[in-house]
Chains A and B, each alone.
Chain A
Amino acid sequence: MRHITLKASTYRDSVALMRISKKASGLEGVSYVMVAMATDTNLDLLKEAGFEPAEFAGAKANDLLIALELETDSVLDEAVDLIEKEIEGGPAPSGAEAYEAAMGLDATLKSHQDINLVLISLPGRYAAYEARKALEAGKHVMIFSDNVTVEDEKQLKLFAGERGLLVMGPDCGTAIINGIGLGFANEVPRGDIGMVAASGTGAQEVSSILARCHEMGISQMIGTGGRDVSREVGGVMVKMGLRALIDDAATRAIVVVSKHPDREIADEIIEVARRGKKPCIIHFTGQADIRSEANLTFTRTLAGTAFEAARGAGKQVEGFTGFDEDAMAALLAAARKMPPGRKYVRGLFSGGTLAQEAVFLLSDGIKDIHTNLKIGDFPGLDDPGESVGHTIVDLGDDTFTRGRAHPMIDQAYRLVRLQRELDDPETAVILLDVVLGHGCHEAPGVEIAEALMTALSGGEEPGKAREPGDRPLVIASICGTRGDPQNYANERRALEAAGVYVAEHNEGLCELALAALEGRRDG
């Protein structure tokens, strides 16, 4: 069925039109949506595609047209209703809410003097301007946006530092302030471990393991954005966040999580932590050459960081493996049955820090891991869209997210890539991180499981179903808690039902991968 909605003399900017198109396309029963201006050329196109000219009679080039192709009539009303609402700007707010929505940040700050934090999620080029306004009004700021210049970031942070205000970000994906999760935060209980994180999924992994495996909670999680620890920005917010947690009576132990920082900045961060006297567990991904001392513990893995943090906060915790022994036995048995041509690990990660940790941990047993992460001496990928030998890709990198959502929200590209790795006769092991939490995909594990089951059963060509011995092994870890909106247990069950070996955490995932490769060689 085909349908046209026409809006006379209506303009919306292209980004808004794209959003409307994507939202309507997501409705079940909608096969295609085209949001365009009613130019003669586009009207000819509609005729050619079988639309009735009577439906757009009198349309002019400055009118907005929405052409819908539907699989069934029943979805028509819903689709048209959704589009109408989106064009008008979504469900119309009323009263004071409407006034604030229209009047923007200045008016909202004036009318709500009690607001103490502003979350900014705008295209990068506008974010710094709005952040400055919020800081001038005396508010802490979290900037979810990326593409803010390093100069703007530094200026904002220096300006905020002089006033004792936090600037979390830019590109800060996760924070938990006074028990309220911001961005991609997991549902974790309040507790006495404070975190300063220059890495989003690193913070999620540590806080989730603390909650799920050690039953520990978070006092505050201050995100800083990954670039904070660069020489240009100088670690301004990591150091400020650390000092805030040192002074916070509700925080008993502090965790600092960061991707590989600039060495000089790392030293400055360590010095602040050293003077603070509180137990401080520091994880700089990939940097394992710093010796622990007095109140400072340096960790090599994110799971180890959670373990040490729990101990630092006074909990008697047992060490635990990152995988089930039965799963390990089954994995080794399957690995031995694989044909010798299957020899490479392919990691398709949505979390940058998880990908980075995987590269470092896997390099203990594998040489020449190719990655798009630009870390250490690891060889890069000429074409990040193609795996070469052992490959770990961060699918959240800018090259993959330009023009589409982050893979923690939309896995479309990851599933295409998964299919490609499954089809590659040289793939031995596929690694996946499944990140849960607020703001993330509503059921990433279930979606992966469905894709795997379809692919391994031959999809629409059952004759192409793969023999159990001729499949790559798929290993996943779930970063999340049982309180997360996605339902942790369901996610795990779905993955296991699709034959995925599920590790407790990212470190466990790497251990399983190395064991599988080793088992293949032994077999």
Chain B
Amino acid sequence: MTIDAQMASSSVLSRLGRKSRSGKVHSSFTRTVNILCQDMTWICLHPPGVPMHPFCIRVKAEPEMGECFLKVLWSEPATVSRNAIDLGGRLTISLEQAREWNCDLDPSASGETSLQALDTIDTILKEALIDSVFLRAVAGNGPAATANSAMAGGTDPVGDGEGAGSTEKAGGAVVGGLQAVLAARIGCAVDLMETAWRLRCIEPVLRGVKQLVGLGIGLTPSGDDFLIGFIGAAYFFAHGDDFRKSVFEGMRPLVHRTNLPSFFMLKAALKGCYPGPLSDFLHAIETGSSDGVRSAAKCLTGLGATSGQDMLAGVLSWLHVSSTCGAADAAHYA
């Protein structure tokens, strides 16, 4: 059976040449077929309705499509070229009519709307009562606050952050199980990253990133989703900042520390390619319309089970950093 692709992301199309390449089906679900090529090109096939993201090829809705996706077997050989993707001879996706979707985020924002956006997002979070451990950490009344209080005692906030959330340091005794350790780790890592970015110290920022890559629940670990949101906001609002560029360079070797689907998302994020709802959210913040931010936040938080919420937390974290990182501070610590 052949199904036409309607749309393909620019990052996929730019990697596909006339010469075909081989790969295999990495995994398949009711609405997704993930393909991994030998040259490390990652492609996700989706039906209409799933938001576009940097590796997405959206196929046309066909009456039998659901069954076709289910028939695709894991590890089945795949052949990929600029014109078509063949999955074990069972299913062919024709790319002839696929329109290109530009997944590159245009980093043209001035960054001046951050404070206003922060207020709007805080209101949205209150209204939505979103329950994400990352959002609570970023909002400052959850694990981050706990972690901060555990770290209180005159230590340099960008100094020895590693392990500061351990159960022992949080009071000398085991205060809880896995959940408490997870929350404390997130709190410490986010706090470390935010503080170090404010003070423009690259090494502790990367230490925070290292603690977050691959951390937490879900198919794409929550820590990775958080970082994608943070990276996206930094890329968008501080594109020309040399410190931002240096941090991104330092992050590249760290993003291998997670599973494959997440690794590819992080890698794309560092290049400026993001899921559609995240890009829309960042653009909405730039325009400053609270209705626009609210509506874009709703779309973003609908991504996956918690992925969208964690990305929103990442954006919020960067906005906190930028709103408290005044020009004088920046000049002093640069």
Please give the residue numbers on chain A whose beta carbons come within 8 Å of chain B beta carbons, in ascending order: 2, 11-15, 17-18, 21, 31-32, 34-37, 39-42, 45-46, 48-51, 61-62, 67, 69, 102-107, 125-126, 129, 133, 147, 383-385, 399-400, 402-404, 413
Contact in complex: A45, B179 (CB < 8 Å): no
Which residues of A sit under 8 angstroms from B185, Cβ to Cβ? Answer: 45, 48
Q: Is B319 an interface residue (CB 8 A)?
A: no
Contact in complex: B218, A125 (CB < 8 Å): no
Contact in complex: A400, B306 (CB < 8 Å): no
Contact in complex: A402, B221 (CB < 8 Å): no
Known A399-B127, A402-B301; contact A104-B67, beta-carbon cutoff 8 A: yes
Pairs A–B under 8 Å by Cβ, sample size 5: A37-B218, A40-B257, A67-B178, A103-B70, A404-B131
Q: What is the CB-to-nearest-CB distance from A112 to chain B, in angstroms, rounded to a whole number?
A: 16
Which residues of A sit under 8 angstroms from B257, Cβ to Cβ? Answer: 39-41, 61
Known A106-B66, A402-B128; contact A49-B258, beta-carbon cutoff 8 A: no
**Mask of B232-270 contacts with A, CB within 8 angstroms, 1/0:** 000000000000000000000000011111100000000
* Assembly CA distance A42 to B29 (angstroms): 24
State the total of A-B contacts with C-beta under 8 angstroms: 148
Q: Is B214 an interface residue (CB 8 A)?
A: yes
Q: Which 4 pairs show the lowest CB-CB distances between chains A and B?
A: A39-B214, A14-B305, A125-B49, A41-B214
Instruction: Using CB atoms, name the residue of chain A closest to B303.
Output: A14
Q: What is the CB-to-nearest-CB distance from B19 to chain A, in angstroms, rounded to a whole number?
A: 28
* Assembly CA distance A107 to B64 (angstroms): 9
* Assembly CA distance A130 to B95 (angstroms): 25
Q: What is the CB-to-nearest-CB distance from B72 to chain A, in angstroms, rounded to a whole number?
A: 12
Q: What is the CB-to-nearest-CB distance from A374 to chain B, in angstroms, rounded to a whole number?
A: 13
* Assembly CA distance A491 to B48 (angstroms): 45
Q: Is B10 an interface residue (CB 8 A)?
A: no
Please give the residue numbers on chain B whose beta carbons come within 8 Å of chain A beta carbons, in ascending order: 27, 29, 31-32, 47-50, 61, 63-64, 66-67, 70, 126-132, 166-167, 174, 177-179, 181-182, 185, 211-221, 223, 257-262, 301-302, 304-307, 309
* Assembly CA distance A376 to B73 (angstroms): 55
* Assembly CA distance A180 to B114 (angstroms): 54
Which residues of A sit under 8 angstroms from B182, Cβ to Cβ? Answer: 34, 45, 49
Which residues of A sit under 8 angstroms from B221, Cβ to Cβ? Answer: 36-37, 39, 41-42
Known A69-B177, A403-B131; contact A15-B304, beta-carbon cutoff 8 A: yes
Contact in complex: B259, A62 (CB < 8 Å): yes
* Assembly CA distance A40 to B256 (angstroms): 10
Contact in complex: A385, B126 (CB < 8 Å): yes
* Assembly CA distance A126 to B181 (angstroms): 37
Contact in complex: B212, A41 (CB < 8 Å): yes
Contact in complex: A32, B179 (CB < 8 Å): yes
Contact in complex: A17, B218 (CB < 8 Å): yes
Contact in complex: A102, B70 (CB < 8 Å): yes
